[in-house]
Amino acid sequence: MQLSATDISVRFAGVSAIDKVSMALDRGEILGLIGPNGAGKTTMVNVLSGFQKPREGRVAIESVDCAGRSAAWFSRHGVVRTFQAVRLFKDLTISENIEASLSSLGISRFRARRRAAEMLDYMGIGDKADRRGGTLSYGDERRVGIARALALAPKFLLLDEPAAGLNIGEAESLADLIRRIQGDFSCGVLLIEHNMTLVMTICRRLHVMASGRTIATGTPAEVLADPQFKSAYLGTGAA
């Protein structure tokens, strides 16, 4: 199974945010999507998850054309994403935050509560299920964000900068978690991240964007050797 995007273009007020970008994520792989700030990475994730309709191009899950479908439709069909800002409901418990994300699936409150408990246990924070969303540490907030996505049983999990704000130890734990998620859920993982150590450690394939375009693809070693990658990250002299 594959989630693919072909010749995607997005423009805001006449300004090109993405220009003819194509990429594919196989179920069972961890793909790194990297690039400087303003490269178009989050816009691409929005397109792949139904939060942004492309002006041009095709998005497909296997052979099913789904460009322009709603985010709820993508979620129901196994494409789930996290956000840079977790945005928990501060007055709800952690369990209730996850239960709320399951409402679109039409399952019972009992099943939603049980699923939430399972995901919090999986993330190692089951003991905090009854705490309010506004009382968590930053690291635990990010764990809840991932638990909320996993509760939807993703076939493709899109992680938007999950290591932002984490220290070295927390980032290492996150790397182990992403590997475990990919195996336990048999899902494809798209990792959008600025932490290059994390990306190079767990991704076998990278897709590099800059100024809304693809500038390099390949294994970490191939990308590191690419002159356009060096120029985008280190300046024109590095190439």
Are residues 177 and 231 located together in one domain of the fold?
Answer: yes
Cβ distance 162 to 191 under 8 Å?
A: yes
202, part of any domain: yes
Question: What would the pLDDT profile of 77-94 be if each residue is shown by its tens digit?
Answer: 999 999 888 888 888 999
Which residues face 4 on adjacent strands?
A: 24, 60
203, part of any domain: yes
Return the amino acid letter for 104: S
Angle 127-150-195 from CA coordinates, rounded to 5°: 95
- pLDDT for the residue 235: 64
Are residues 161 and 62 located together in one domain of the fold?
Answer: yes
Q: Is 106 exposed, middle or buried (0-12, 13-18, 19+ CB in 10 A)?
A: exposed
Are residues 63 and 166 located together in one domain of the fold?
Answer: yes
193, part of any domain: yes
Cβ distance 75 to 153 under 8 Å?
A: no
CATH of the domain at 159: 3.40.50.300
Show the domain range for 125: 89-150
Are residues 39 and 133 located together in one domain of the fold?
Answer: no
Instruction: For residue 68, give every residue at least 6 positions away whose Cβ sits within 8 Å of its Cβ, in sequence order, or none.
Output: 53, 54
Are residues 163 and 232 located together in one domain of the fold?
Answer: yes
- pLDDT for the residue 219: 95
Helix ranges (DSSP H) in 89-219: 94-101, 109-122, 138-150, 168-184, 196-202
**Number of domains comprising the chain:** 2
170, part of any domain: yes
Are residues 146 and 159 located together in one domain of the fold?
Answer: no
Cβ distance 135 to 89 under 8 Å?
A: no
209, part of any domain: yes
- pLDDT for the residue 128: 92
Tell me the three state secondary structure of residue 111.
helix
- pLDDT for the residue 239: 45
83, part of any domain: no
Burial 25-52 (b: 16+ CB within 10 A, else e): bebebbbbbbbeeebbbbbbbbbbbbeb
Are residues 25 and 56 located together in one domain of the fold?
Answer: yes
Are residues 165 and 71 located together in one domain of the fold?
Answer: yes
pTM over 0.75: yes
Are residues 191 and 74 located together in one domain of the fold?
Answer: yes
Per-residue pLDDT 10s for the chain (239 aa) are 899 999 999 999 888 899 999 999 999 999 999 998 889 999 999 999 999 999 999 999 988 898 789 998 999 899 999 988 888 888 899 999 999 888 777 788 889 999 999 999 999 999 999 999 888 888 888 889 999 999 999 999 999 999 888 888 888 999 999 999 999 999 999 999 989 899 999 999 999 999 999 999 999 999 999 988 888 776 654 44
56, part of any domain: yes
- pLDDT for the residue 60: 95
Domain boundary among 110, 130, 150: 150
Are residues 50 and 107 located together in one domain of the fold?
Answer: no
